[in-house]
Amino acid sequence: MGLRPRQKLKTHHESALRRVTPEGGKRNILILNNNQHHIPHYMKALLLAAAFLSSLCWAGTNPYNIIPEPVKVTTASGTTKNLKILNEQKVSGLGNEGYSMKLTPGGVELRYTTPNGKAMAMATLFQLQDQLADSPEGLPCGSIQDAPDFGWRGMMVDVGRYHYPMKELYNFVDAMHYYKYNVLHLHLTEDQGWRLPVPGYDKLRTIGSVRPSAPEGQNNSLLANEGMYSKKELQDLVAYCKARGIQVLPEVEMPGHNMALAASYPEFCCNTKRAQLWTHGGVSSKLICPQKAGTKKFLKDTYDTLQQIFSFGYVHIGGDECPMGDWKKCADCQAARAKKGQGDDVEAQMSDFTKSLGAMLAKNKKKPILWYDINKSYYHKGETVMSWLPGEFPRCIDKTKEQGIDLIVTPQYKYYLARTQMKFPADDVRARPGGGPILLKDCYNFDPRNGRDKNDVKHIKGINLCMWAEWIPSGELLMYMTYPRAMAVSESAWGSHKERPSLEDFEKKMETHKKRFQKRFGYTLERTVENKPYRESSITQEEIDRINANYKKGQQDAGK
C-alpha cells in the first residue's frame, strides 16, 4: 500500500481540526472534530496533549493561573506533577522581592536574592500547587521570572475599632502572602478602642479596650467589643509575617482620634474632663496635650513599646482629622505658641508636634508616616504620607513631589474596601456604609501613577488598601469585603498597570481561584447581595452581656 502522500497527510489532519476562540479570549485553541477516528493513534496522542495544554491556559498569555500575573513566563516541552523544591540558591541581581522559578518533570528550582524574594516565590508555588491539585495530568514545564513594580503593597486592618482574634489575623496574613501583599498596617488605636499594651498604663486595657453596647436609637453605632493584644501576641504576629515577606506597620493615632485614651487617662488631654469611649463613628474633637509632662512621658513609653514589638522601619503616627479647637483654647498650648511667636497658628504647632514625634522615632532608626491632607502645611521633607481624601488624587502626586515627601496611594473611592462591592437595595442594612459601591472593575482599572512614567514619579512608594471596621466586626466580613477586590488591585501593585491582563482575562483567571480560595482560606469568593453576612450575626447575646459587665467594672475603677 505504501504511505499516503505527505501533502495529503497534512491536509487530512488539518481537516480533522477546527479552530475556535474562547468567548472574549485572544488565543485560538485546536480541538478535534467528530471524524477523529480517522486520525492515526500517534497523532491522536499529540493532539490530545496539545488540547490538554491549551485547557490549562486561561484566555491570556500563559498556562499558570497566577494572581498577580508574573512578569515573564516561558513554557517548555513536557509536564510536571511534582512541585517539590529540588534546589534553591541565593543569587545576586534579582532585587528585594524578585525571584526566578523553573518547573521541571522532577520538581522546582528556585533562585532569589533575599528572604523576601523566596517568600514571594513561595506564594507563587502555593498557587501552582493549588492549580496542580485541579490538574491531575500535571502542569506544563517552564520558567517564571518575576519582581514587583511597587515596593509597598499594603493592607490596613482596623483593629482599633474591632479587636480581631489572632487566628483571624493569621488567616488574613496568609491570604495577603498568597497574593503578594507585603505590608500589614495595624490601626491599633481609635476613638472606639485601644489595642496596644503599654506597660504601666493598665487603664488602657480595663477602660480603653472595652466598648459597651451603644445606646438604643444611636446613629452610626458600632457593636460591643473588647480586647487588647499582648506584647507576645504582637511579637509572634510580626515573626509570622516576616517569614512570609510581610512587614507590620503599627499605627498609633496622634493627636486626635483618641477618645479611648481620653476615657482612660483624661489628664493627657487639653480638656481633662473624663471622656467616654465612643460607641459610634465620626470625628472627635478631643486632642491630647503635647505640652504636659505626663503626656510626653506617655508618648515616650508608647514609642518604646512599639520599638520592642515592631521591627519595621516605619511607624504611622496618624495626624489627620484633628479639629484644633482644644489647642486654641488650652492655656499650655497657648503658652507654647507664644514662646515661639506663633500666635494662633495651630498648624505651626501641629508641625512642631509631628516633627517631635519624627525625632523620637529617629532615635530608634524609624521614620513616620502620616495621613495626608493636601490643604495642610505641617508635613516635612523626607516624610511619607498616605493620600486618601476625595478629590486629592491625582493632584497629590505633584504636590508631594514638590514637598519632597514620599507618597503611598490610598484613594478613598478606589481602595477603601469597607465600602460595598455591589449595589444593594436602599432598605438593606448590609448596604452600609452609605455612598456608592467600589466595584471590582473600579479597583482593577485604577492606575496608582495616573498614567505617569515610573521614572517621573519615583516618590510613589506604592499602594495601601484600607478596611475601616465600623461595619466589619468579624474575620468573616473582613475577608468578604477585602476579596476578590484585593486580587484585582494586586495586578497593578505587583505588575505593570499598562501590561496587566484585560479585565475580562483577569475575571476568567479569578474564576479558577474561587474553589482554591475557599479550600485554602475557608471563605467563598462568590459575591451576591444575598450572601453578604449580616454584621449583627457576628456576636452573641452572651458575649454582649460579658462585655457590658466588664465595661461597668472598668468604669467603677476609673477614678482610682
Q: Which of 227, 225, 195 is nearest to 213 (CA)?
A: 225
Which amino acid, one-letter code, is at 444? Y
Q: Which residues touch 257 (CB under 8 Å, ≥6 apart)?
A: 189, 190, 191, 283, 284, 318, 320, 321, 322
Q: Which residues touch 245 (CB under 8 Å, ≥6 apart)?
A: 97, 115, 116, 117, 118, 119, 120, 123, 177, 182
**Catalytic residue selected from 109, 321, 347, 543:** 321
Retrieve residue 517's grid coordinates: 480560595
Q: How far apart are CA 501 and CA 485, in angstroms?
A: 15
Q: Which residues touch 51 (CB under 8 Å, ≥6 apart)?
A: 29, 30, 31, 32
Q: Which of 244, 101, 226, 100 is nearest to 171 (CA)?
A: 244
Retrieve residue 482's grid coordinates: 477585602
Q: Which residues touch 384 (CB under 8 Å, ≥6 apart)?
A: 314, 367, 368, 369, 370, 405, 406, 407, 408, 461
Retrieve residue 473's grid coordinates: 466586626
| 150 contacts 408 by C-beta, under 8 angstroms | no
Q: How far apart are CA 168 and CA 28, in angstroms?
A: 43
Strands 460-467 and 406-409 turn out to be: parallel
Q: How far apart are CA 500 and CA 203, in angstroms?
A: 50
Q: How far apart are CA 297 and CA 250, in angstroms?
A: 19
3-state secondary structure of 257: coil
Which amino acid, one-letter code, is at 77? S
Q: Which of 171, 154, 142 is nearest to 70 (CA)?
A: 142
| The dihedral sign for the CA sequence 277, 280, 282, 285 | negative
Which amino acid, one-letter code, is at 555? Q
Identify whether 543 is a catalytic site residue: no
Q: Which residues are catalytic?
A: 321
